[in-house]
Amino acid sequence: MSKKTVDLIAAGGNDYLIAVKKNQLKLYKSLENLAKTTTPLSRHLSEDKSHGRDIKRDCSVFPVPDTVQSLWTNSQRFIQVNRSGTRGSKSYQDTAYYLSSCVENAQVFAERIRGHWRIENQLHWVKDVVFQEDSSSLHQFQTMTNFSVLSTIAMNLYRFLGFISITDGRRWLSHRLWGLLILLE
């Protein structure tokens, strides 16, 4: 996310919680170093065992230093989330940093970040992988927009029919086109 976008969010009177990407190298390294040398204001540990995964999350909240605060409008806290665990038989470890204009504790930030990933996994991933929007051969803006709207309608129809997994919904519907008649009732 750019500073300009953050400025617009703040100018609109809104708060933000944004991921700091590694392509923002100076900010990323600054937060990484601060997390190593600063005592967190609060921490929240959680564990999740589902979908063949065993994930441990350690969320720590830190004050934003003046040098960062002067560059990122209304920045109040930065958050470090360490994730580790297994996916199937493979181990992994990941660290992510976030910047926020909110003053909250680690548990609140952890819940908001998990909420973002639910959206990412239930919407964006489905559109990218199941409906293959990213690999589409459509190039005209209006055509791509129409396709995106139609895929969103399709996702909502599957969810209306009770499917959490869009792939399961597609399999079910491919053998029961009459299932669409349920929607007419």
Look at residue 18 and tell me if it is in a domain: yes
Strands (DSSP E) found in the chain: 17-20, 42-50, 53-63, 77-87, 90-100
pLDDT at site 33: 94
Domain count, the chain: 2
Cα 112-114-119 angle, rounded to 5 deg: 95
Position 27, amino acid: L
Residues 150 and 68 in one domain: no
What burial class does residue 14 get, using C-beta atoms within 10 Å of its C-beta: 0-12 exposed, 13-18 middle, 19+ buried?
Answer: exposed
Look at residue 166 and tell me if it is in a domain: yes
Whether pTM > 0.75 for this model: the answer is no
Q: Domain range holding 10?
A: 3-103
Look at residue 49 and tell me if it is in a domain: yes
Give the sheet arrangement for strand 17-20, strand by strand. Answer: 17-20, 90-100, 77-87, 53-63, 42-50
Each residue's pLDDT, cut to its tens digit, for the chain (185 residues) gives: 678 888 888 889 998 988 898 888 899 999 999 999 999 999 999 988 766 678 899 999 999 988 888 889 899 999 999 999 887 788 889 999 999 999 999 999 998 888 655 555 555 556 666 666 666 666 677 777 777 787 778 777 777 778 777 777 777 777 766 656 665 56
Cβ neighbours of residue 104 under 8 Å, at least 6 residues apart?
61, 77, 112
Look at residue 116 and tell me if it is in a domain: no
Residues 146 and 98 in one domain: no
Residues 7 and 96 in one domain: yes
Query: Which residue reads 């944004």 in tokens?
Result: 18
Look at residue 126 and tell me if it is in a domain: no
Dihedral pair phi/psi, residue 145, rounded to 5°: -65, -45
Look at residue 114 and tell me if it is in a domain: no
Question: Which tokens sit at 185?
Answer: 């009732």
pLDDT at site 92: 85
What DSSP element (H or E) covers 31?
A: helix 25-37
Q: What distance in Å separates the CA atoms of residue 173 and residue 104, rounded to the nearest whole number?
A: 44
Residues 146 and 99 in one domain: no
Query: Which residue reads 């040398």 in tokens?
Result: 37
Question: Which tokens sit at 8?
Answer: 């617009």
Residues 10 and 98 in one domain: yes
Question: Which tokens sit at 100?
Answer: 């926020």
